[in-house]
Amino acid sequence: MISKTLTTKTNFDFLLGEVLLIDKEIGKTSFNVVHNLRKITGVKKIGHAGTLDPAATGLLIVCTGKKTKEIRIYQDQTKTYSGIITLGIKTPSMDSETEAIEICDASQITPEEMEETRKKFVGEIEQIPPMYSALKFKGQALYKYARKGIDVKREPRKVNILSFEITKTDLPDIHFSIECSKGTYIRVIADDFGSALGCGAYLKSLRRIKIGEYAVDNAFTLKELEDYLKSSNSTGGESIEKN
């Protein structure tokens, strides 16, 4: 595992296989990260264990070489996020990537109402995947239909929300942390949360802070990883971690 807990080991074999903890920057797609890592490592066979939207930041687990066979192990683990939900504004993409389509005064929403609504989103719930997503319909990503104004029928999916905590309230913004099963759309939780409160809401910001036991605090940015590998002149098959 190549992460920020550095040991004295400095040799890596990306073809044989390494697992990397990457802190994705805002604006980059998960594919951008994989593409950049192919340049940094010189290995083409690379995959990530769970997409992050371009507007989101945080932990990506990336496998290289033969370690790509282990991607499913990381994909199946729970994910933990922190972020901000903004009440009173509804957008088509359920986040900040599209303009508001509904605006409502949320200043009268009470802490008690938010707490009671929050409880409804803990445990096994159903979500309808968003149109602005990479899910495929007839071989084409749903977001491509959405950009053309075409709505495709999507079936609800069951996901498990292990915890959903409101960590700070500064209306219209609500700061939160969520631990959930794979396949959960936090944007949908934000949108559904706002609908349940009767004022609408969208996901203002999102950061993935953990995948299973792996934390973003131990992850490299792409620049940090590139600089470290250059300084270590890695060629073998050991692992490093950074503190």
Amino acid at 150: I
Structure tokens at 35: 């593409």
The candidate with the shortest Cα–Cα distance to 72, out of 61, 87, 82, 81, is 61
Strands 201-211 and 57-64: parallel
**Could you say which of 13, 23, 53, 191 is catalytic?**
53
Cβ atoms of 54 and 29 within 8 Å: the answer is yes
Q: In whole angstroms, what is the distance from residue 70 CA to residue 93 CA?
A: 32
**DSSP secondary structure, 126-159, as one string:** EEPPPSSSS-EETTEEHHHHHHTT-------EEE
Catalytic residue check, 227: no
Q: In whole angstroms, what is the distance from residue 226 CA to residue 125 CA?
A: 41
Structure tokens at 177: 């942390």
Q: Is the dihedral of CA 96, 101, 107, 109 positive or negative?
A: negative
Q: Which residues are catalytic?
A: 53
